[in-house]
Chains A and B, each alone.
Chain A
């Protein structure tokens, strides 16, 4: 498939996603919960089926042909991830279950080795719980402290305040690339520059960003980058952690088991080289292959095209929602993408969600695993419509119609 922004054929793209033909409560599905998980194109579903039908075997161990086939596919998927995020080497890509495991891996290995009493870890005020809790666990264990860089009312990181938090005690910065609750895209290159000027490594939570903006880890300069496959049109249960080779080499292993060793005796075990050192046990081989297929697919559409199209769509949605009086948008950063988070006067997000569902519109309602952020805005929850490149203006219109229905029900 080849397409450009000018010829972006959303009708044809929708044909690639079988689930988009589903009817929900008698209405065509309008899937606006892509930040929770994205839908899968047929090629990804086929890749999983094909793997299990023609290649399934364990990797890196058998001498038999099928094992070699599975190993080739698995390692080919790693190379696809490497190229997709422009890592320097494929061994810098560790397959994990998802973003959460990627962050926990860094906390439990790099963190436990390098962070001690009185040290500080800096996150931002717009983090998902998965980029808060692993650090709290580490801080508790080590007597370290978690510092939170504040944001403004639009949901933009206050870079000056962030810089002020950086000190000789700071041992790690871990920040979200794109907020799942607000859509804010953080100035990650500047964040990395400020941290690196003080010798502080940076981890980026790329769970959202990877599906919406082109990611180049070398250009960004980050030390770690974690993302999930399932938000990138791939299967659930697989994701990747990028880490700079020199850091990964110096880090202790994450879990012990098969594959991550070079030799084992009861007296001493030698660990394998990266990436195997961090991939104990049989990995989600099929999932990795599926992720590779998803990357091929989005490359075919083009990440630049995706970003351009989605930005137009989110601008359209912002305009439409802003016209509705009882609606208040949460997250109005200048640099944001793919997410329309809002609250309504007199209608709780949960009730909004139920009424939208009756119109076939799937949105997420709740705190979006970002309770401290909800507290920052003084709301218990929001309604979040999160877009993908297969969504259309007509679907935004359906969302708006659903909101009108909420107003109608609650004005009785």
Chain B
């Protein structure tokens, strides 16, 4: 077991305490709900996509520190990116938290790197990816809710 401090890094706790873009996006043109039935975490991801670029991103919901921090960092990292780039970030992020040996592009991920500690806690991976699956659903315009199960 790696040190707890690797999991609960200061930046993560800071995002948990003061999540970025934690609001309802009034002019969102894409949104989706995510739900983790195992723990009851709920999230709504809002996007305003203009000409294939994510012009604005926000979220609302309840969840643990990991899911909250992950959602908070998600909104920061995809803001201003093309949809394709956002999907690329998710791919890199997914590798980061599921495979400790993955060859990831840390420049692409930025702050998200602090979530790498999750890879040592398999039961918590779902917490970290909930917002991202919800992002995908929002991008694809599915509209209905996604679950981690």
Chain A residues in the interface with B (C-beta under 8 A)? 25-26, 346-351, 354-355, 358, 365-367, 371, 374, 380-381, 405, 409-410, 412
A350 is contacted by which of B13, B42, B66 (Cβ under 8 Å)?
A: B66
Q: A349 to B40, alpha carbons, bound, how many Å?
A: 11
Contact A412 B10 (CB under 8 A): yes
* Contact between B38 and A351, CB atoms less than 8 A apart: no
Kindly name the residue among A25, A348, A358, A412 whose own CB sees the greatest number of chain B CB atoms within 10 A. A348
Q: Do A351 and B39 contact each other (CB < 8 Å), given the known contacts A25-B1, A358-B1, A410-B13?
A: no
Q: B8 at the A/B interface (Cβ < 8 Å)?
A: yes
Size of the B side of the interface (Cβ < 8 Å), in residues, is 23
Further 20 A-B residue pairs, CB within 8 A, beyond A366-B39, A367-B40, A371-B40: A346-B17, A348-B63, A348-B64, A348-B65, A350-B39, A350-B64, A350-B127, A351-B8, A351-B64, A354-B123, A354-B124, A355-B4, A366-B40, A367-B39, A380-B39, A381-B39, A409-B4, A410-B8, A410-B65, A412-B13
Tell whether, in the assembled complex, residue B65 and residue A347 are in contact, meaning their CB atoms are under 8 Å apart.
yes
Task: Please give me the residue from chain A that is nearest to B1 by CB atom.
Answer: A25
A248 to B8, CA, bound (A): 55
Q: List 15 A-B contacts (CB under 8 A).
A: A26-B1, A348-B68, A349-B64, A351-B8, A351-B64, A354-B121, A354-B124, A365-B39, A366-B39, A367-B40, A380-B40, A380-B42, A380-B63, A409-B8, A410-B13
Measured between beta carbons, the chain A residues less than 8 angstroms from B63 are 348, 380
Q: Which residue of B lies closest to A410 (CB)?
A: B13
How close is B124's CB to chain A, nearest CB, in angstroms? 6
Residues on A with C-beta less than 8 A from B40 are: 366-367, 371, 374, 380-381
Q: What are the residues of chain A within 8 A of B84 when measuring CB–CB?
A: none
Per the bound structure, the CA–CA distance linking A296 and B65 in Å amounts to: 45
Interface of chain B residues 1 through 46 with chain A (CB within 8 A): 1, 4-5, 7-8, 10, 13, 17, 38-42
Bound-state CA distance A409–B13 (Å) is 9
Bound Cα distance from A380 to B43, whole angstroms: 12
A359 to chain B, nearest CB (A): 9
Is A354's CB under 8 angstroms from B7's CB?
yes
Q: Which 3 A-B pairs have the closest CB atoms?
A: A348-B64, A350-B64, A380-B40
Contacts of A354 in B (CB 8 A): 4, 7, 121, 123-124
User: Looking at A349, A380, A405, which has the most chain B CB atoms within 10 Å of its CB?
Assistant: A380
Contact A351 B4 (CB under 8 A): no
Q: Which residues of B contact A412 (CB under 8 A)?
A: 8, 10, 13
The reply to whether the CB of B62 lies closer than 8 angstroms to some CB of chain A is yes
Residues of B contacting A358 with CB < 8 Å?
Answer: 1, 4
Rounded to whole Å, the gap between the CB of B2 and the closest CB of chain A is 9
Which residue of chain B is the closest to A27 with respect to CB atoms?
B1
Given A409-B8, A410-B13, A412-B13: A351 touches B65 (CB 8 Å cut-off) = yes
Tell me the nearest residue of chain B to A374, going by C-beta: B40
Bound complex: CA A409 to CA B63 (Å): 17
* A371–B42 alpha-carbon span in the complex (Å): 13
Which residue on chain A has the smallest CB distance to residue B4?
A358
Q: Which of B90-149 contact A (CB under 8 A)?
A: 121, 123-124, 127
Chain B residues with CB under 8 A of A410? 8, 13, 65
Q: Cα distance A346–B1 when bound, in Å?
A: 24
Query: How distant is A384 from chain B, measured CB to nearest CB, in Å?
Result: 13
Residue of A with least CB distance to B124: A354
Which residues from A are CB-within-8-Å of B39?
Answer: 349-350, 365-367, 380-381
Are A380 and B8 interface neighbours, CB within 8 A? no
Q: B45-87 interface mask toward A, CB cutoff 8 Å, 1 = contact, 0 = none?
A: 0000000000000000011111010000000000000000000
Given A358-B4, A365-B39, A409-B8, A350-B124 contact (CB < 8 Å): yes
**What's the nearest-Cβ distance from chain B to residue A226, in Å?**
24
Cα-based distance from A26 to B2 in the complex (angstroms): 11
Chain A residue with Cβ nearest B7:
A354
Residue from the list B17, B38, B62 in contact with A366, Cβ < 8 A: B38
- Report A93 CB to chain B, min CB distance, Å: 34
What CA separation (Å) do A412 and B16 show in the bound complex? 12
Residues of A within 8 A of B121 (CB): 354
Bound-state Cα–Cα, A365 to B64, Å: 11
Return chain B residues, CB-CB under 8 Å to A346.
17
A373 to chain B, nearest CB (A): 12
Least distance between B89 CB and chain A CB atoms (Å): 24
Q: Smallest CB–CB gap between B5 and chain A, Å?
A: 8
B3 to chain A, nearest CB (A): 9
Bound CA–CA A380/B38 (angstroms): 11
- What residues of B have a CB within 8 angstroms of the CB of A350 in the complex? 39, 41, 64, 66, 124, 127
Most buried by A among B13, B17, B40: B40
- CB of B129, distance to nearest CB on chain A (Å): 14
Which residues of the partner chain B approach A347 to less than 8 Å between Cβ atoms?
65
- Residues of A near B8 (CB, < 8 A) are 351, 355, 409-410, 412
Closest-by-CB residue of B relative to A380 is: B40
Taking a contact as CB atoms under 8 Å apart, the answer to whether A351 and B62 are in contact is: no
